[in-house]
Copies of this chain bind each other. A is one copy, B any other.
Amino acid sequence: MQRRATNVVWHHGLVDRPTRERLLGQQGAVLWFTGLSGSGKSTVARQVEHDLLHRGRFAAVLDGDNLRHDLNADLGFSPEDRTENIRRVGAVARILAESGALCLAAFVSPYRADRDAVRERLDEGRFIEVFVDTPLAVCESRDPKGLYEKARRGEIKDFTGISAPYEPPLSPEIHLRTDGRTVAACAEEVVGELVRRGIIG
C-alpha cells in the first residue's frame, strides 16, 4: 500500500482568503449550536440560515438530518461514535468556513472536549459557540418524537440529559436562552452578533 503522506501535493488556492471574503462579502465561520435534544438548535439554525440567505449571504446548515443519513450513516450513539461524529462534522464545517461560507452546525455535541477540538482547528474568531440553553423540563415537555418518554422508561439508554451527561459550554460566544422567546428573536440575536463581530456587513 502506498503511504499516505507521499501522494498529497498541496495546491494553494488561486484566491487568497482576504480576496475571497471581499468577493463573497462575508467572512467564513462556523456557528456551532450545542444543547439538549429538543432545545431548538436546528430550528434556530434554520431560521438564521433563512435570514442570512435573504441578506444575500451564503449559509449552510449541518445537522443530523444531512449528516447522520449519509456521511455518518455508519455511526451510532456510543461515546466513541459520538466523538467520531463530531470530528467528521468539524472537518466538514471547517471546509465550509475556509470556503467562505457561514456554516451553521446544530448538534447535541454533549462533550466539551469534542467541541473544543473543532474550535482548535479553526482560526481565531472563526468558531462561534452558540449555547442553546433551554431548561431540560421545557425540552422534555416538547419531546416531538417521544424520545424523552422512552428514555425515562429506560427504552433508550445513554440519552443526553437523562442517562448520559451534557457538558455545557463554559464561555460560549453566544448564550442563547430560548425559553419563552420566539424563534425569530433568537435568530435575530445570532445574526446581530455576526454583524457586531464583522463576520457580515
Which of B7, B63, B67, B75 contacts A77 (CB under 8 A)?
A: B7
The stretch that binds B, out of A90-98, A123-131, A132-140, A165-173, is A90-98
Q: Which B-chain residue is minimally distant from A88 (CB atoms)?
A: B71
Instruction: Kindly identify which residue among B23, B58, B65, B96 contacts A11, using a CB–CB cutoff of 8 Å.
Output: B65
Complexed CA–CA distance, A1 and B70 (Å): 20
Complex copy number for this chain: 2
**Stretch from A154-162, A174-182, A193-201 at the B interface:** A154-162
18 new A-B contacts at CB < 8 Å, known A9-B144, A11-B65: A1-B77, A1-B78, A2-B76, A3-B76, A7-B77, A8-B64, A9-B145, A11-B43, A13-B50, A14-B46, A15-B53, A24-B53, A24-B58, A58-B100, A67-B95, A70-B94, A71-B95, A92-B92
A53-B15, A62-B95 known; A6 and B158 CB under 8 Å?
no
A121 CB to nearest B CB, Å: 7
Q: Is A66 an interface residue (CB 8 A)?
A: yes
Q: Are A65 and B8 in contact, CB atoms less than 8 angstroms apart?
A: yes
Give the nearest-CB partner of A146 in chain B.
B6
Q: Report A95-122 residues with CB < 8 Å from chain B CB.
A: 95-96, 98-101, 121
- In chain A, residues 35-63, which have Cβ atoms closer than 8 Å to a Cβ of chain B? 37, 42-43, 46-47, 49-50, 53-54, 56, 58-63
Q: How large is the interface on A (under 10, 10 to 19, 20 to 34, 35 or more residues)?
A: 35 or more
| Chain B residues within an 8 Å CB radius of A11 | 42-43, 46, 63, 65
A76 & B6 in contact (Cβ 8 Å cutoff)? no
Kindly list chain B residues whose C-beta atoms are within 8 Å of the C-beta of A73: 4
